[in-house]
Structure 1
Amino acid sequence: MEYISPVASLVQCFCRQECLRKLFSKQCHYFDKPQEILARLDEQMRVLHARETDITQMLNVERVRHDMEPKAEVKLWLENVDKIKDSVNKIKEDKAEDKRCLFGCFQRVQ
């Protein structure tokens, strides 16, 4: 019976280490292939920009033709697009400054 407690402690310790490894791996996974991820982000931003342009043009047409203002939902969507653009720009700035996960333990983002 006196061996059960130390064995249980070791099992808990290994479990915690495995859980921590999984947590860090999941959090910093995007550093594995940064160029691919940034390329996908750029493509998604091009699609978002095209949609924003189309919607803005439609809004301008409706304002001129029918003197209509956009719904609150459309205004909110446009505000969210601006926030997304800011976030993406921040990501690109961080990349340019070569920031790394966990004090530089992962590969360099180029």
Structure 2
Amino acid sequence: MTTRPDSAEPAPAPDGSSAPKVVAEGVPSALRSDPRWDDGRRPLAWIHITAPGRGVTPSVRSWCVCGRDLFAAGQRRALALIADHEQHRAACPYIAPQERRKAA
């Protein structure tokens, strides 16, 4: 399939299908952060809490840049993981030095 540069037809994918190619290899993405707003902060630890309502089991997931990836379901286990996540943020070698620098 040959396409003209000014046509709106999708380019053929390497495997022969006609799926559109979204980003060319080696081309920087247009979704770069604006340097005027980039203050250097990056997320290091995340916690996702799902508590949908009455009669539904709450769940919690805790991630960290150090490799931590924990999940808990049920009210007691979810509350325990929330408390553990807070303790981990204070003890993690990837997070603790940066927070100490901010406090100084």
Greater relative CO, 1 or 2 (CA 8 Å, sep 6+):
1
Higher share of residues assigned strand: 2
Q: TM exceeds 0.5? A: no
Give the TM-score, by structure 2 length: 0.29
